[in-house]
């Protein structure tokens, strides 16, 4: 089941979504937004997992944290 809603978005984000559709990276603007929302939810879940690991195992070293941050930057590129 799907629900139709109305949201207001900055023009830049609407442009990004429309570009993704025109370039074939998304089936529709709705699909693009749904995927973005799914990904945001996964990041929140991952944050919970990482918090639990840190509570159990302690904080990562500065070197490990720098490596992880670099890998996450690569995902956003």
- CA-to-CA distance for 58 and 40, rounded, in angstroms? 25
52-77 per-position pLDDT tens digit: 989 999 999 999 999 999 999 998 77
pTM for this structure? 0.59
**With contact defined as beta carbons under 8 Å apart, do 44 and 60 qualify?**
no
22-62 per-position pLDDT tens digit: 999 999 999 999 999 999 888 888 888 889 989 999 999 99
Q: Is 62 exposed, middle or buried (0-12, 13-18, 19+ CB in 10 A)?
A: exposed
């Amino acid at each position: 089941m799907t629900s139709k809603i109305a949201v207001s978005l900055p023009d830049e984000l609407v442009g990004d979504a429309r570009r993704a559709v025109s370039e074939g990276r998304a089936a529709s603007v709705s699909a693009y937004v749904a995927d973005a929302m799914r990904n945001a939810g996964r990041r929140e879940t991952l944050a919970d997992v990482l918090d639990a690991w840190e509570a159990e195992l302690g904080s990562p070293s500065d070197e490990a944290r720098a490596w992880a941050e670099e890998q996450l930057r690569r995902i956003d590129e």
